Structure 1
Amino acid sequence: MDDDARSGHAPGMQTRRRTLLAALGAGLGAGALGLPNPALAAVGSWSNPTLGTLTSGYKTPSRPGHTGWDIANSQGTPVYAAAAGTVRDIKTNSYPGDTTSGPLPGRTGNSVHLNHGDNYFSYYGHLYRVLVSVGQTISAGQLVGLMGTTGNSTGPHLHFEIHLPRLTTLDPKVFLANRGIALGSTAPLGSTGYPGVSQGASGWVPRVIQYLVRARGISVVVDGVYGPATTSAVKSFQSSRGLYADGYVGPITWTALILPLREGNSGDLVRGLQTALNARGASIPVDGGFGSVTANAVRSFQSRNGLVVDGLVGPVTWSVLI
C-alpha cells in the first residue's frame, strides 16, 4: 500500500470556497461502465470521501501493489467517511517521508481505518490531521480528517481504499460508480467544511475568528471586520503553531484554532461558540459562560443537523456550525 502521489498531476483546485462541486456521478452504473458489479453493502448510504483529481489508480500495470485510488487536492481539503460505521484504527503524529506503517501495511502517514459492518471497511491515508478517535461512531459523510502529504507521499492527496472483507480490497472507483458516485467529483454527503476567510471579509464568521484568536492570548478587537489588524493577529497565531503565516483562515487554521468545549467552560472560545450558535438560529447571551442555556442551544443545533446530541462541541460539531 506504499503510495507515491504524482505532484505534477495535482490539480490547481483551491479550497478557498465553501460551495462544493455539484454531483456529477448520478446515473453511472455497472451496465454503463461495463465493469464488475460488487455486491451492495447493507450498511446504508455511501458517500464520496473527498473532492479532487484522480491520479494513481487501483492496481495499475505500473503499480500492481497499489490497492486504492489517489485523489489529489490542496492540503487541508476535508475528507469524509464513505459510509456509517465505527473507527477501527487511526495513526497520528506522522510527517512527510515517515516510513513507519499505519493501521494497515504500508507507509500512508496519518490515517483512519473505518469498520462499516457486514465485513466492509474503508481506509483514508496521508492525512494532514486526523479528526476522529478509535471506537468513535461515524455517520456517512462525517468529517474524519484533512487531506495532507504525510508518510510516503510527494504531494497532498488522499489514498482511499474499500475492503470486503478486511484486507481484501475492491476497486473503490468501480464500487462507488455502481452506486451512482463519481470518485473525486460527486459532492460528499453533509460536506459543509470550513469556510475560507481572508482580509476584506466581515460578519459573524470573522467575529468568531477574532474570539478564537483572542482566546489564544493574541490581542485583537472583536468587531466582525477582517481588516489588517485581524490579519496580523491571525498571522501571529499561525506562526506560533508552525503554520504557514499568510493570514488566511482555511481548514488547517480552523482546526488549529478550535478546541473541544463542554458545559462549565468559559472565556472567549465560548463567546465564539455562542456567536456561531446565534448565527445559526439560537438566541442566547454572548457572555462567555457555557451554562445550561448554551448547552441546550448546542443540543438543539446537533439535533437539527443529524449529529450526536451530547452537548459536547468537538471538531465535527464545530465544522458543521461554522
Structure 2
Amino acid sequence: MSGLTVSRRTVFTALGVGVGLGAIGLPTAASAAVAAWSNPTRGTLTSGYKIPSRPGHLGWDIANSQGTPVYATAAGTVRDIRTGSYPGDPTSGPLGGRTGNSVHIDHADSYFSYYGHLHRVLVSKGQWVLAGQLIGLMGTTGNSTGPHLHFEIHRPRLTSTDPRVFLANRGISLGSTAPMGSTGWPSVSQGTTSWVARTIQYLLRGRGVSTVVDGYFGPGTASSVRTFQSGRGLYVDGVVGPITWTALILPLQQGNSGDTVRGLQTALSARVGNVVVDGSFGAQTATAVRSFQSSQGLAVDGLVGPVTWSTLI
C-alpha cells in the first residue's frame, strides 16, 4: 500500500475505545429486516473467496495497517466473540479456523457476518450493533502473516457466500467504499509527499527519532517510523496508521514548544492557513487552534487533544 489513503478513521479509534449502543428500545435481529449494509473496513483485497490455492477460504482478506477500524456490515446482535488471541495462536475462533480475535454477528433474514484476526474486539456478546458501528480494530492475531481483516458472510449460518459479490450487488465495493460514519485518522505509507508527511516527520522528531523534515515520506522516513514502532512495542510495518498516530501525538497547549508543536503548526497551516511554523505555541497558534475547533464543531478551548488531532489530520 502506498500514498495517503483517502479514508478517514473514527475518533473513537483515536481514543482506543469503542462505544456500544444498548439494546433498550431497539429491535432485535429476529424482528427487523436488514435495512442497510456497510463496507466493514477499507484496505487492499488480498486472498479471495474459495480461490483455487485455498478452496477452504470462506471469505475475503482486506489488508491495511494495524488498528484500522472494523465496522459492522449490518445491524444485528453479536452472537460470539473471541478475545485474548495473539499472532500465531493455533486456537479456532467462533467459527472454524485460526482467525484469532474475532466477532460473529447475527443479522435479520438469516444472515451472519464474521470478522477475524482483530487487534482488539470493541463489542461484547449479546450486544446490539448498528450498520457501520465500530466493532474492532484490524490486527494480525491467529494464523496471520500481517494486519488484515478476514471477512465472511453466511446465509444461513455455516453456509458461506462470496462477500465481495454479495456487497457488490448492494452497491458496495469491498475494501473501497467508505464504511458508514467513518471519519478520523488516515493511513500514511512510503511514497506520500504532503503536509501530512511533514507533520509525521516533526512528530517523529518530537518523540526523539531522527528524521529529515522535507514533506516526502521516503525510505528514510519509513525507517524512522519502524524505529519508533519497535521502540513502542507496536506492529513494525513502517505505516502510520491509527495506532501509530495515537502513539506519536502529544496533548498540546499554549506555552509548549518544540518539534511536536511544529507538527501541529504544519497541520494548522494546511487546514487554516497563515500559521508560522516556529515551534512556539503562542497566541497566534492558540487562535488558529480555536478557529479550527469552531469550524469543526469541536469544543473551543485551544487545547489540542486526541479529538482535535484526529480531526485536524
TM-score by length of 1: 0.55
- In 2 relative to 1, CA 222–99 (structure 1 residues): closer, same or farther, beyond 3 Å? same
**Residue type at the aligned position of 1:70:** W
Range that drifts further, 170-179 or 217-226: 217-226
Q: Please list, as runs of the form range in 1=range in 2, the aligned pairs for 1:147-186 lying within 5 A after superposition.
A: 148-153=139-144, 157-162=148-153, 171=161, 173=163, 175-184=166-175, 186=176
How big is the shift at 1:213?
1.3
Q: Give the counterpart letter for 1:212 in structure 2.
A: L
Structure 2 residue corresponding to 1:140, chosen from 132, 152, 161: 132
Q: Give 1:297's aligned residue.
A: 292
Q: What SS does the corresponding residue of 1:55 show, helix, strand or coil?
A: coil
Q: Distance in 1 between matches of 2:38 and 2:265?
A: 33
1:157-201 deviations in whole A, cap 9, x for unaligned? 422134689x677636254233123445x5334588422235xx6
Provide the rounded CA distance (Å) in 1 between the counterparts of 2:158 and 2:254: 46
Describe the SS at the equivalent of 1:158: strand
Aligned with 2:99 (options 99, 108, 125): 108
Please show how residues 187-202 of structure 1 align to structure 2 within 5 Å.
187-189=177-179, 193-197=186-190
Question: How well do the aligned residues superpose, as a CA RMSD in angstroms?
Answer: 5.4
Does residue 230 of structure 2 align to residue 239 of structure 1?
yes
Amino acid at match of 1:297: F
The count of aligned residue pairs is 269
Q: Distance in 1 between matches of 2:262 and 2:230?
A: 24
Contact 2:187–2:242 (CA under 8 A) maintained in structure 1: no
Gaps in structure 1 of 5+ consecutive residues: 1-14, 22-38, 304-310
Q: Tell me what 2:61 maps to.
A: 71
Contact persistence 1:87–1:133 (CA under 8 A): no
Asked if 2 retains the 8 angstrom alpha-carbon contact of 1:80 and 1:188, the reply is no
- Residue number among 16, 23, 34 corresponding to 1:41 in the alignment: 34
> CA contact under 8 A between 2:222 and 2:239: conserved in structure 1?
no
User: How far apart are residue 232 of structure 1 and its match?
Assistant: 5.9
Q: Which secondary structure state, in structure 1, belongs to the residue aligned with residue 143 of structure 2?
A: coil
Who is 1:34 aligned against? none
Cα distance change of structure 1 residues 49 and 263 upon mapping to structure 2, 3 Å threshold: same
Q: 1-side partners of 2:170 and 2:120: how far apart?
A: 27
Structure 1 residues 47 and 203: alpha-carbon distance in aligned structure 2, compared to 1, 3 A threshold: closer
Instruction: Verify the 8 A CA contact 1:262 1:313 in the aligned structure 2.
Output: no
Query: Structure 2 vs 1, CA of residues 140 and 264 (structure 1 numbering), >3 Å: closer, same or farther?
Result: farther
Q: Give 5+ residue unaligned stretches, structure 2.
A: 8-31, 299-303
- Aligned CA distance change for structure 1 residues 55 and 223 (closer, same or farther; 3 Å): closer
